Amino acid sequence: MPYQPKPLPFSKPLTGISDKTIQIHHDKLYTGYVNKRNEIEEKLAKTDRTAANATYSEYGELKREESFAANGICLHEYYFNVLGGDGAQSKAPDLIKAIETEFGSFDKWLEDFKAAGMVARGWVVLAYDFNEGHLHNYLCDIHNHGGIWGAIPVIVLDMYEHAYFIDYGSDRKTYIEDYLKNLNWAAAENLYKNIKK
């Protein structure tokens, strides 16, 4: 069964982040990862496993790019999932309480999340890490480098330049502030509650 791109979970215009950016991001880049995942899986089905080699082999390269495409898909879906909101934290009481408990205060979490956004070349992920049983801000610069097995994303911020450069140039700080204004805390709360079940 081929992978299918999921539609955007919101239709309203965002604060600061333009429709053009969202359209390119979703319809071209994200959908491109879905198409490439399908292409990779088709090729893997026919690839000679007996020629597998760690330095170079068709199978090896396809398996490396399979994880790149797979994470390119799911990280974008997590990112779009928490956009389209109004930034109101009151819609995520359980998640906010957990953030306050585990980071000391909401502001301490936010300071770390924003700092991670300023240095990330790829993604910032507030994840629930089942290995440790707590929330943690992780950073991954490339889709398939830096992810933690057993950590489930709750709030994902895309810091690739394609996510903000059309609207903000190199002004990452304002993009992060606007991202927070658009944050759908109710969607993050739903995700967190499902994880905790």
Residues binding Fe ion (CB under 5 A): 158, 160
Query: Smallest distance from the beta carbon of 76 to Fe ion, in angstroms?
Result: 6
Q: Which is nearer to Fe ion, 37 or 91 (CB)?
A: 37
138 in Cβ contact with 151 (< 8 Å) = yes
Q: Using the 8-state DSSP alphabet, how is residue 160 labeled?
A: S
Query: Smallest distance from the beta carbon of 33 to Fe ion, in angstroms?
Result: 9
Q: Which is nearer to Fe ion, 103 or 160 (CB)?
A: 160
Q: Which is nearer to Fe ion, 65 or 158 (CB)?
A: 158
Q: Which of 81, 106, 63 is nearest to 6 (CA)?
A: 81
Q: Which is nearer to Fe ion, 28 or 64 (CB)?
A: 28
**Beta bridge mates, 129:** 134, 151
Query: Smallest distance from the beta carbon of 150 to Fe ion, in angstroms?
Result: 24
Residue whose beta carbon is closest to Fe ion: 158
* Distance, CA of 188 to CA of 97 (rounded, Å): 13
* Distance, CA of 44 to CA of 57 (rounded, Å): 12
Q: Which is nearer to Fe ion, 26 or 43 (CB)?
A: 26
Residue 134: its H or E element: strand 134-140
CA angle (37, 74, 36) in 5-degree steps: 15
Query: Smallest distance from the beta carbon of 25 to Fe ion, in angstroms?
Result: 6
Query: Smallest distance from the beta carbon of 68 to Fe ion, in angstroms?
Result: 13
